[in-house]
A and B are shown apart, each in its own frame.
Chain A
Amino acid sequence: SQQGEEDPQALSIQEGENATMNCSYKTSINNLQWYRQNSGRGLVHLILIRSNEREKHSGRLRVTLDTSKKSSSLLITASRAADTASYFCATEDNQGGKLIFGQGTELSVKP
């Protein structure tokens, strides 16, 4: 069964705009991670946020985590055409050792 659910399933924006993707999950977690997948490629790890953290930044990426609502968001600021990809959240539950992925958000950034 899927743990994380991303919203929206697809998002289309113009270059320079911000993109926000949301992830909800069901059980208690150790950490939540975001990955990017370009078409036909493997997934690339973007950022990890632990259950005791509320916000984390990495370059143009900002991730928030609200454990009371069991939700996370990924914000990409000043988007570029190269950000076009699918974005997945993944959760590690507190039994540990393995990630469960959501179905992803397909982001299209138009030049």
Chain B
Amino acid sequence: DAGITQSPRYKITETGRQVTLMCHQTWSHSYMFWYRQDLGHGLRLIYYSAAADITDKGEVPDGYVVSRSKTENFPLTLESATRSQTSVYFCASSESHSGGYTFGSGTRLTVV
């Protein structure tokens, strides 16, 4: 999984703070995704991007913002963190439409 990296690995933040999770991939994959993983809910799609400057909402986009100014980067920003956003966040990329995804190692975010 060396080709897709997430940072930070762990983050604790306070309610109301803005926090940005970083995702970087080295393959120039067109597609990138953000998921959150919570007990009892599995993985839920937050946002995805089909190419630079093209983003779209997933199942649970409220409270999150993304951008994709460069193909290799897809940061996820929590504009005003809430406790309900405590979760493990995974970034993924895919070379093609209808292909397998490669996942990063995740960011464990705790909002206190």
Contact = CB atoms under 8 A, between A and B. Distances in A.
Contacts of A96: 97-98
A41 B105 contact: yes
Interface in B67-83: none
Contacts of A92: 98
A100 B45 contact: yes
Contacts, number: 57
A2 B92 CA distance: 19
Contact of B42 (A31, A42, A50, A101): A101
Nearest to B4: A42
Contacts of B106: 41-42
Nearest to A94: B98
**Interface bracket on B:** 20 to 34
A42 B98 contact: no
A48 interface: yes
Interface residues of A, number: 24
Contacts of B50: 97
Given A96-B98, A97-B48, A98-B58, A103 B41 contact: yes
Nearest to B96: A97
A53 B99 CA distance: 15
A14 to B, nearest CB: 27
B53 interface: no
Interface in B40-74: 40-45, 48, 50, 58-59
10 contacts: A2-B42, A33-B101, A41-B105, A45-B102, A97-B48, A97-B50, A97-B97, A99-B45, A101-B35, A101-B42
